[in-house]
Amino acid sequence: MTLISTRSSYDAALALLRDRPLVVLTGAGLSTDSGIPDYRGPGAPARMPMTYQEFVSGPAAQQRYWGRSHLGWSRMRGAEPNAGHVALAALDPELLITQNVDGLHERAGSRRMVALHGRIADVVCLSCRSVTSRASLQAQMASLNPSWIATHSGATARPDGDVELEDTAGFVVPACSCGGPLKPDVVFFGENVPKARVSRCYEAVDALESSGGALLCVGTSLTVMSGFRFVRRAAKAGTPVVIVNRGGTRGDELATYKVEAGCTEFLTELAG
């Protein structure tokens, strides 16, 4: 691994990536310039999202989740793609793999992509498995809890569309038309990423070996295996790996270059 500390080395990482096929893996650090906090960036407080096992434990946990998420999503849906999202759309990599659920890559115009953990804008029923719009559910929750947002407007935003709020007693949670419990159609901690998504990502990463491509990881600490496995796969095949992140990552020792820089700054230069 080469740690980037000089402009010449930074430029060397850019040169490595230019004019070759790319697969790009993004994390929450890319969306911080859009006003969405991340989990593990420098200075970020310790945060632990609700696990899947806790969510399915019963109505009390689901009330706690939706009472916070109703507030958080009302803010997240107002976030706009930043220049880093726009630069990635212009680069149009062979595949864009995002761990983010905010939908900002799609809104920026990225086409060939896998939302590894799903999208917060969709809702799934745990009983009948029907998928519906989060906007529709948000309207239902607002109707059932008309003063909730105004009463808790000071709650601190967290990643993944929720807020810091301890007391959610009294929040009314809508059910599916079949009566089943509703869950955002995203992969919670403790859930597995659907196999078809993982397979598509592996295929794209594997193809880099024969095409002379590279794997670029941007704004992710690679702490969770769902993203880190692609770095391990690429490194094992001898494919160049560039990691752009402020702060250390789990994949640093496997990287060809580790760039300590802002995501937006680096991607804008790469696309320029």
263 is in an annotated binding site: no
Cβ atoms of 121 and 103 closer than 8 Å: yes
Please give the Cα distance from 217 to 222 (Å, whole number): 9
State the catalytic residues.
117
Q: Of 40, 36, 49, 98, whose CA–CA distance to 248 is shortest?
A: 40
176 is in an annotated binding site: yes
pTM value?
Answer: 0.89
Residue 40 CB neighbour total at 10 angstroms: 20
Q: CATH classification of 2-271 is 3.40.50.1220, yes or no?
A: yes
Q: Which residues on adjacent β-strands are paired with residue 242?
A: 216, 257
Domains of the chain, residue spans:
2-271
In a structure prediction context, what are the per-residue pLDDT tens digits for the chain, which is 272 residues long?
655 556 767 888 999 999 999 999 999 999 999 988 766 555 555 556 789 999 999 999 999 999 999 988 877 778 899 999 999 999 999 999 999 999 999 999 999 999 999 998 999 999 999 999 999 999 999 999 999 888 887 777 665 666 778 888 899 999 999 999 999 999 998 999 999 999 999 999 999 999 999 999 999 999 999 999 999 999 999 999 999 999 899 999 999 999 999 999 999 999 98
Residue 252 CB neighbour total at 10 angstroms: 17
125 is in an annotated binding site: yes
